[in-house]
Chains A and B, each alone.
Chain A
Amino acid sequence: MRSEIGRIEIVDTAIAVEAIVAELKAGADGAVCVFDGIVRDNTRGRRTLYLDYEAYREMALEQMRGLTAEAVARFGVRDVAMVHRLGRLMVGETSVLIVVASAHRAAAFDACRWLIDSLKKTVPIWKKETFADGSVWAAGEPFPEQIAVHPRGEAE
């Protein structure tokens, strides 16, 4: 049995979703909420062949640990697993898995939603999407104002 809260990993091979979910469960839990982020077969109708994920790995791990600790403190959930995969992923494969275990379902749902939304805004991981007819680096929402910087002398 793990004593430390939070299973945080960045991996280069397939994420073992079922094993991770099973491992997180404990007797005190009444709910386990799972977010399984998978590669979609299109973006706005353009057919996707695969995605390539890359990360600023050390910083991403630190950010993921920070989010996990904050989720436990904010929502009162018991434990969290957060695993992100890098490299080339095909349609249907899991790119990110978030599992939240809690005594009650409301906290599990809330924490899980907050974790994936926060990860997409602040954890330094990028994806390049390759279509049948070209590729693009997907760019998400702008960084939150407290993180964004601007070249000096620019209007903000």
Chain B
Amino acid sequence: MRVRLLYFGVLKELIGVSEETVELPEGTMVGELLHILRGRTSNPSMSNGTDEGLWRSLAVAVNRAYGSSEVVLHQDDEVALLPPVSGGYYAYSECGE
């Protein structure tokens, strides 16, 4: 099945695109999708400690509603990976320096 992925904020910059469509096995759950995406990012800059922290602090929205790792995905779902929102006390990644 096909699902549409959306990336925001620091995650968009780390992955390098704001959205993409991926092919997944029927019945894939949100937690499994995250595991797949994380394994796929072989970029060394994504495996340092701060980005590990980012992967552990994401929220996921399925069709614009927050969903747990147990939510089962369906064909044509819109799945958004959301870094913590803009409270602003510390930073995940420095860029532009």
Contact = CB atoms under 8 A, between A and B. Distances in A.
Interface string A46-65: 00000001101011001000
Given A134-B94, A140-B88, A56 B38 contact: no
- A interface residue count range (under 10 / 10 to 19 / 20 to 34 / 35 or more): 35 or more
Given A136-B93, A151-B34, A125 B60 contact: no
B22 interface: no
B6 interface: yes
Given A124-B82, A137-B92, A149 B8 contact: no
Interface in A78-137: 120-130, 133-137
Secondary structure of the B side of the interface? mixed
B8 A151 contact: no
Nearest to B12: A54
Given A54-B9, A58-B64, A133-B97, A120 B85 contact: yes
Contact of A56 (B29, B57, B68, B80): B80
Contacts of B29: 152
B42 to A, nearest CB: 16
A138 B91 contact: yes
Contacts of A56: 6, 8, 61, 64, 80, 82
21 contacts: A56-B8, A58-B64, A62-B64, A120-B87, A122-B66, A128-B9, A134-B96, A137-B92, A137-B93, A139-B57, A139-B89, A140-B87, A141-B84, A141-B87, A147-B59, A148-B57, A149-B31, A151-B31, A151-B35, A151-B56, A152-B32
